[in-house]
Amino acid sequence: MGYILYNGKTVTGEGITEATVIINGQRIERIIPGNAPVHDPEERYKGFETIDLHRKYIMAGGIDAHVHFREPGLSYKADICSESRAAVAGGVTSFIDMPNTKPATTSADALSEKLEMAEGRAYANYGFHLGATNGNLDEIRKIIAGGKQGVSGKDFGGIKIFMGSSTGNMLVDDDNALDALFGIKEKEILVHCEDEGTIRENLLKAENLYGEEIPFERHCDIRSREACILSSAKALDLAVKHGTRLHLLHISTSEELEMVRSAKKKDSGITAETSANYLWFCDKDYGRLGSLIKCNPSIKTGNDRAALRKALKDGLIDTIGSDHAPHLMEEKERKYLTAPSGIPSIQQSLQVLLTVARAENIPLSRIASVFSEKAADMFGIRDRGYLKEGYFADLAVVDTDTYMEISSEEIAGKCGWSPYTGEKLSGRITDVFVNGRRVIKDSAFTPELPCGQRLVFDK
């Protein structure tokens, strides 16, 4: 099956161009400048479906390198099938899942099992990160070398280190272990940065003051900016010391941005991520949304949000990871101490980016870069992440002139809710192609079965 997409505008990190995109099988065969349909005298494209995009934008499908799809072990609230459907509904055509599942993905056996689990069930292309612990350095090195259970460095994205505890309790708090892990040069080191001692001290103060009735507004005081700054400073120092390929995850404060800016001048291997949640919400939203925006790190102030938006525009932010982290509504309705942290957001991530881009006059080329291209480069994802001839036809078509009010009826994830419900966001995702198959047509799912493929990591 083939498609000819014409009268559209391609968006890449280099800019916007009027072009016709021809999909032949799983790949992009040609990108032809201009907006007219192709008429081939040799009838090479006879039988191809011709689609008039009516001046909409064509982007490479998103690569979300920071998701929590909850499988195995927590599939009652989310699984690979349900959350990959939510991903493609949001224009995300590839994901890399985090290791804090049950069991955690900290061994060759666990990684191999997750890869088998996803086969034939994922609507988007799939990959997984490997998790670090205080004691699995030897296991990680054996996997990178390709000597465990048939998996190697090409079979996982990066190595996730929790320098602050979060869902799954995979805290790495041994300084010797941290130093050794940061010495790994072959793979990207992804770090969740919050200082555990600071958080525990803040939580004890809140419990003494409020008992079990801690207001959700106190979340950004408990998971405080100081906790983030202390931990990020430690991670950056270790990265500069070792020359680590460090990816600092879900940055939430202006101070961390300035530390990253300084560190990048010393070490070109340092990259930074934030999520749509920190670009959209601020601490004033706890009053109306409460636990629905309780996540780790916490959402900070309006000034932090403004700094993050500026960093996105200026190029300091390298990638956007949704940190998609579903929980059932009945879990979120609990009191502060037992309500879990995490926000389901992958379906709205691109729309938030497009809305912020419009508000802050951010070029769409920056969105293309952070949404797919930079992640493809960082992890060496083979033949994906770019609008290029010969690459897999993973594409999203977006009408940026349309504003949508997010409705709970449209939520594709298993948990069935989103903190973005009721928000008016720019950009209707009209069509999505995964490996050349049209899985979204006119903003609705087609009858296509899951066609996601296993990602190959060349870095």
Domains of the chain: 2-58+391-445 (2.30.40.10), 62-379 (3.20.20.140)
Q: Quote the pLDDT of residue 38.
A: 72
**Confidence check: pLDDT of 304 > 80:** yes
What is the average per-residue pLDDT within 433-439? 98
Q: What is the pLDDT of residue 268?
A: 80
Can you tell me the distance from the alpha carbon of 267 to that of 445, in angstroms, rounded to the nearest whole number? 44
pLDDT score of 227 more than 70: yes
What's the confidence (pLDDT) of residue 76? 97
The label of the residue with tokens 């802050």 reads: 360
Least confident interval from 3-17, 155-169, 221-235:
155-169
What is the per-residue pLDDT for 175? 94
Give the 3-state secondary structure of residue 424.
strand
Assess contact for 418 and 406: CB atoms under 8 A. Answer: yes
- Closest Cα partner for 157 from 132, 180, 130? 130
Q: What residue type is assigned to position 221 of the chain? A: D
* Mean pLDDT value of segment 130-148: 93
Q: Which residue has the tokens 């290029």?
A: 388
Share of the chain above pLDDT 70, in %: 98
Q: Phi and psi of 264, rounded to 5°?
A: -65, -25
Averaged pLDDT, 287-293: 98
Q: How far, in Å, CA of 196 to CA of 200, rounded?
A: 6
Please determine, for residue 166, whether its predicted confidence score (pLDDT) is greater than 70. Answer: no
Confidence of residue 39 (pLDDT cuts 50, 70, 90): low
Position 78 pLDDT exceeds 90? yes
- The arithmetic mean of pLDDT across residues 258-279, rounded, is 94
pLDDT tens per residue across span 191-215: 999 999 999 999 999 999 999 999 9
Helix (H, G, I), strand (E, B) or coil at 416: coil
d(CA 425, CA 416): 19
Residue 40 pLDDT exceeds 80: no
Asked if 256 contacts 280 with a C-beta cutoff of 8 angstroms, the reply is no
Q: What is the pTM of this model?
A: 0.97
Task: Name the nearest CA neighbour of 318 among 360, 355, 263, 358.
Answer: 263
Looking at residue 148, its pLDDT comes to 73
| pLDDT tens string 381-410 | 999 999 999 999 999 999 999 999 999 999
**pLDDT given for residue 43 in this prediction:** 74
Output the pLDDT for position 162.
96
Q: What is the pLDDT of residues 405-431, one digit of tens each?
A: 999 999 999 999 999 999 999 999 999
Mean of pLDDT values over 246-260:
98
Mean pLDDT of the chain: 96
pLDDT of residue 59: 98
pLDDT in tens, 87-103: 999 999 999 999 999 99
Query: With bands split at pLDDT 50, 70 and 90, how would you rate the model's confidence at 19?
Result: very high
Q: What is the mean pLDDT of residues 430-436?
A: 98
DSSP label at 105?
S
pLDDT band for 34, please (50, 70, 90 cuts).
Answer: confident
**Residue 41 — pLDDT band, cuts 50, 70, 90?**
low
Query: What is the share, in percent, of the chain residues with pLDDT greater than 90?
Result: 93
The whole-number average pLDDT for the span 267-273 is 91
- Give tens-digit pLDDT for 348-375: 999 999 999 999 999 999 999 999 999 9
**At residue 355, what is the residue type?**
T
